[in-house]
Amino acid sequence: MGGKITMFNFFVNRVSGSEEITVQISYMLNAGYAGRTQEKVLEHIEELEKLGVSGPTEIPILFPITFNQATQEQQIDVQGEQTSGEIEFVLLLHAGEWFVTVGSDHTDRELEQFSVEKSKQACPNVLASCLWPVTEVIEHWDQIHLRAWVTKDGTRVIYQDDTLAALLPYSVLLDFVRSKVAHNLDGIPIFSGTIATLKGLIFADFFEMEMLDPVLKRSIRHQYSIRPLTQLFATK
């Protein structure tokens, strides 16, 4: 597929050692409503309905996101005051090998009431800079843990906490994506869809995310601050 690309550096953390790779990203794919069970899907639908977001027309769903919304930075700028992060696992194919990392599908919740697709495009997709080979974790995939914390007005709380068993399995997610996308997936980050929040959505100032592998005893972490651009204007 043609179009513009942007370059990202990742550190591949293998059991045998580490290496740095450079990946050309031309766009991204964000899965939504991708819980493994109907109960998990309904949890996310219900928390969004509280904000006036209508339920999906199909489950799961897939959104294409432009390459310029990919970032590994530790600060993002957003247009509105009502935005929030969503911890997800992220799949990435490079040079014939699949990798996994952690990411956040940051979303404009006010805009989401009118268009889920545009709410995803309005904010960055945040990626950690470390990758694990899928072959090293596939046998204990469901034991891998996702945890996110948020800080709002100086108070830090646990925000999301579940294992990958809550989301579509690796192979099922890939089959779904391939059923929708006809061309090569090399260099296309695939965001998995998120897990439910513990106590509802929080429009935070700071978002931390961690993917923990309890078997190989390692983790991938990333954090970022959120700056609404309205803060640039002087208050009267």
Q: Domain 6-229: which topology?
A: Fumarylacetoacetate hydrolase; domain 2 (3.90.850)
The pLDDT, as a whole number, for residue 233 is 80
Domain ranges, ordered by start, for the chain: 6-229
Q: What is the CA radius of gyration of the chain?
A: 17
Average pLDDT over residues 195-204: 94
Over 80: is that where the pLDDT of 107 sits?
yes
Cα–Cα distance measured from residue 214 to residue 218, given in angstroms and rounded to the nearest whole number: 7
Cα–Cα distance measured from residue 43 to residue 124, given in angstroms and rounded to the nearest whole number: 24
Is the whole model's pTM more than 0.85, yes or no?
Answer: yes
Of the CA atoms within 13 Å of residue 211, those in its CB half-sphere come to 26
Cα–Cα distance measured from residue 147 to residue 218, given in angstroms and rounded to the nearest whole number: 14
Phi, psi torsion values for 24, nearest 5 degrees: -90, 120
Over 90: is that where the pLDDT of 194 sits?
yes
User: What residue spans of 14-88 are helical by DSSP H?
Assistant: 38-49
Summarised one tens digit per residue, pLDDT across range 32-52 is 888 898 777 777 777 777 777
Going by DSSP bridges, is the β-strand pair 75-78/83-84 parallel, antiparallel, or unpaired? unpaired
Question: What is the three-class DSSP state of 45?
Answer: helix
Say which residue the tokens 């089959």 belong to. 175
Summarised one tens digit per residue, pLDDT across range 125-171 is 999 999 999 999 999 999 999 999 999 999 999 999 999 999 999 99
